[in-house]
Amino acid sequence: MKVICKINDLKDISDEVVLGVLKDKIFRPDGKIDISLGSEYVVYGIEFWENSPWYYLCVDVDDEYPKPYAADLFFVSNNKLSTHWQLGFCTNYNGSQVASLVFEEWGGWIAVSMSG
């Protein structure tokens, strides 16, 4: 699966509901996000936080692991899901259930790693 960045600054989001959700999850005083407009990224997994999809991306070639980015920031350029992804469920840091489509090896790692 691949996505293309359509927004990289919270100030460019006009939907107040989406903006409110993202401001609760993205802590950037200036609103800028470290992705490049128009750039295409490989999606390494998807996790659903409060029913919203977040894509796990490596934005730099030297990234050691993928980081989560809200799906609202992207267009899907290739919607083919990896045949290696599995549907999983785990409990995150606040006790809520999180669904994910990730590699089996990642298991509960993602939600646990986002605990702080």
For tokens 């996505």, the residue is 3
Flag whether 87 is in a domain.
Answer: no
| Structural domain contains residue 88 | no
Establish if 111 belongs to a structural domain: no
Q: In this structure, is residue 113 part of a structural domain?
A: no
**Kind and range of the H or E run holding 25:** helix 16-25
Q: What is the pLDDT of residue 113?
A: 47
Residue 15 lies in a domain: yes
pTM of the model: 0.80
The parent domain of residue 64 ranges over 2-81
Asked whether residue 62 is assigned to any structural domain, the reply reads: yes
* Cα–Cα distance, 29 to 54 (Å, whole number): 21
Query: Number of structural domains, the chain?
Result: 1
pLDDT tens per residue, range 44-82:
999 988 778 999 999 988 988 898 899 989 999 999 999
Residue 22 inside a domain? The answer is yes
Give the pLDDT confidence score for residue 29 in this predicted structure.
72
